[in-house]
Amino acid sequence: MGYKFYNYLKGKCNIRYKGIPLNKIITYDLLILFESKEIPKYSLKQSWQNSKVIEIDENFIVFIKCENIISYSIDRIDYSELILDYKNEFFNNSKIFKINLKKIKLSARFFKFQRLKTEFNFLFTKVFLFFKFLKDKSLTSSQVNWLVSRITSYKNTIDYYEKIMNSNKIVLKNQLTFNSSFYHESILSLVLKKHKVRTISMVHGVYVKYKEFVPLDIINYENVCASEVWTWSKSTHELFKTYNPSTLLIEKGNPKYHNLCLGSVKIPKNNCIILLGRKIYEKANHSLCEILISDNIKMMNLKFSLKLHPSLNENNYSKYNLNIIKDKTVNEIIGLFDFSISINTSAYIESYVKGIIGLRYVAFENELFLGFEKDKFKNDIELIECVKYFKSLDKQEIIKITNEVSYINFNCKPYKI
């Protein structure tokens, strides 16, 4: 169904509850339809039962009593490193909280007077979505029932947080969240913003325009719920402003490389790291690997090591008999190589920031990174030409290219020439 369908659904679900736009909260649920995943048969009775179950953050009452917090919901090594970088570089006087979700049924003591309100919300949402979707047959009755339960549940979640906010002294002044566009982080950002807390969203990757198809990653800049975003460079400002014209954009730079000014770069030789894209780009990954083991490339005596994206299965790449790097982040190992080859990953930019030329396989390019025009190739012959070209450059020319790519994407200080 794709992004157009997701965008259509989001536009149709333009419901506000207590001043909070619910179509920014249900993004996570719409993505299930966006990815064409089947919704099982979902009766009206199931919809009603599930609308009485909410997920709440157990840490909420604790962190509203802190002045500055950093919140996140996804456990991943590289994400944890980035969060610490944000804290150390930009937000040192803050406490870090993991969003710990816990399911609560409406019958819990907290919701003593909530049942009648839930019945009203459920009925209103059901009628609203019935006329929105069943009339034009864009969703089945099961899908509508499912969305009704999700929206009603989110209304109850907002009521839960509102009751806590209204019955406690709020110390919290600033919230920096990992990704205000995604799932429960969006709920917390919107509720806190309503209560005059300064809400800020990190950037956790190089956000780009898309060439062939729009993946769910677009929500990172399409669905911002915080009042401001700390961007890595001005190159992404146009993307944010297109979808979030009232959001304040502050160019902070990438905290990993904040104030970084390295004085050395590497001339490409033979030791190359291959930076593969995530699972949705598996076809492109395999196409690139086939080129790497082709006869023409073998004659160049290059040494390749694969760095798989965390979403990839190592077993799918063992057939290429290439060294696979395990249990290390890109940041930890990229400096061990002379140059890199990437496909649809922002690790391409990180390569340049580390003083290492990054080549791009563009036969299946979907993510349009801002980079150097001559580092692209589509086949084995063009790859050979790319490698020869960069090997022919002197150090000063490599520094100039590295400065250009690093600054436009991460706002890094230039290398010294």
Give residue limits of the domains in the chain. Answer: 2-257, 271-410
Kindly compute the dihedral angle of the four CA atoms of residues 95, 24, 236, 76, in this order, to the nearest 10 degrees: 50
pLDDT of 259: 63
pLDDT of 111: 52
* Joined tokens for residue 278: 């995530």
Q: Is residue 185 within 8 Å of 210, Cβ to Cβ?
A: no
The alpha helices in 293-379, defined as continuous H runs, are 295-298, 330-333, 347-353
Local confidence pLDDT in tens for the 417 residues of the chain: 577 888 888 888 888 999 999 999 998 888 776 665 566 677 777 777 777 778 889 999 999 999 999 999 999 888 999 999 999 999 999 999 999 998 887 655 555 555 556 666 666 676 666 666 666 677 788 888 888 888 888 988 998 999 899 999 999 999 999 999 998 999 999 999 999 999 999 999 889 999 988 888 889 999 999 999 999 988 888 889 989 999 999 998 888 876 665 557 888 899 999 999 999 999 999 999 999 999 999 999 999 999 999 899 999 999 999 999 998 888 889 889 999 999 999 899 989 988 899 999 999 999 999 899 999 999 999 999 999 999 999 988 998 898 888 888 887 765 554
pLDDT of 246: 92
- Report the top-level CATH class of 271-410: alpha beta
The contacts of residue 159 (CB under 8 Å, 6+ apart) are 114, 117
Cα(155)–Cα(16) distance, integer angstroms: 10
| CATH code of the region 2-257 | 3.40.50
Query: What sign for the dihedral angle of Cα 394, 397, 399, 401?
Result: negative
Kindly compute the dihedral angle of the four CA atoms of residues 73, 91, 235, 192, in this order, to the nearest 10 degrees: 50
Question: What are the beta bridge partners of residue 360?
Answer: 342, 376
pLDDT of 417: 46
Tell me if 2-257 shares its fold with 271-410: yes
pTM for the model stands at: 0.83
